[in-house]
Structure 1
Amino acid sequence: MIMDIRIEKTKTAIHNTFLELRSKKPLEKITIKELCEKAQINKSTFYSHYRDIYDLSDQLETDVVASVIEAIPNPQNCLEDPAVLAKNMFLGYLSRDTIIRILFSGTRAGELVRKVEYQLKKILFDAHPEYKQDPSVNVVLSYTVYGGYYAFFENRQYGDATVVDIISQISSEAMNLL
């Protein structure tokens, strides 16, 4: 039990230090040496948890994507109510806004929506394999995830709730094409 607490504290130190560094510089400019010095750990400790700095970043990104997907009730049935899908997806984004802006900046900017779409489609297609080759389902879902994301972040000046409501309406209309 004591070992679990130490491991958890070490991982927390690594994550917090990484996020601090990542908020100031691109992923490609962060060195393991720098991270280890700031986190006050040995390189061997870092390597016992992660292959490299990209593995650490990917694991943190995966956690964020999981939390966004968890905000969507019954993602395996997301086509039944696209307005609920869109609204909850954006509530998931908003709940992790700060970490999203840090992790998914620079060369990682497009990774959030790519990973969210991948996970959402995986869940949907595992539950409904008949949709996997349906071009309408694939295009509408991609449009909702990608289009909604970029529309949201480009139009936040109108207020998050207003923009989310509009995206939800558009998503519902797009699903009517199915």
Structure 2
Amino acid sequence: MTDDLRVIKTKQQIKTAFLDLRATKPVNRITVKSICELALINKSTFYAHYQDVFVLADTLQKEAIDALFDGLTYKDSLLTDPSTFIKQMPEQAPLMQPEVAILFRDESDSLYEHMAGKLLEYYMPAAMTPEAEIRLAFIIGGATTTMKRFMQSKQYSPELLEATITQLIKSLT
């Protein structure tokens, strides 16, 4: 069932207000009152849609990750063509701006954990042996952690990162 236009507009106002505040403040410094003032709504309206600021933040983060993940062109290639998948990630980074950057400001670990979770959901079939499940979790966790570290530190060349992760994934699949 789809929300009516009033609900859609109200949620958009709340989201916009939250993003404006989140651009300059950590989540724990954002209040329902400040969101409501910016969104021009009552607190009761906010609470009709969200339990608190943290639930709102989590909801918006999950929506942003879903949209980002859906936009990944080569998400099918992690296990079959890891090189293409890894090359794609930095190319997809501009798609993460600015909303994802704002939502995950000071929380890059959370961003990568959400992405690893989406990859696990996507790749894990309903029936999988325990060994295969462990191997898949290891591949995805290792690849996302390594990519996070590289993207933050820039201590390795993209070519070295791609070649090494590709070699590791191929040896495990």
TM-score range (shorter-chain normalised) is: 0.7 to 0.9
C-alpha separation between the residues in 2 aligned to 1:144 and 1:5?
41
Tell me the matched-pair count: 170
Q: CA deviation at 1:94?
A: 2.5
Task: Give 1:170's aligned amino acid.
Answer: T
Kept in 2: contact 1:69–1:92 (CA 8 A): no
TM-score (norm 2): 0.83
Match of 2:68 in 1: 68
Deviations 1:29-81 (A, max 9, x none): 00001110111001111111111101111111111211232133474663111
Q: CA deviation at 1:155?
A: 1.9
Match of 1:10 in 2: 10
Match of 1:33 in 2: 33
C-alpha separation between the residues in 2 aligned to 1:132 and 1:46?
45
Kept in 2: contact 1:125–1:131 (CA 8 A): no
C-alpha separation between the residues in 1 aligned to 2:62 and 2:90?
17
C-alpha separation between the residues in 2 aligned to 1:88 and 1:58?
26
% identical equivalent positions: 26
Match of 2:164 in 1: 170
Kept in 2: contact 1:140–1:175 (CA 8 A): yes
**CA RMSD for the aligned pairs?**
2.6
Q: Which runs of 5+ in 2 are unaligned?
A: none
Deviations 1:95-148 (A, max 9, x none): 013222211123x33111111111111211126724764544332221211111
C-alpha separation between the residues in 2 aligned to 1:10 and 1:131?
45
Q: Which runs of 5+ in 1 are unaligned?
A: none
Deviations 1:2-24 (A, max 9, x none): x7222222111111110110011
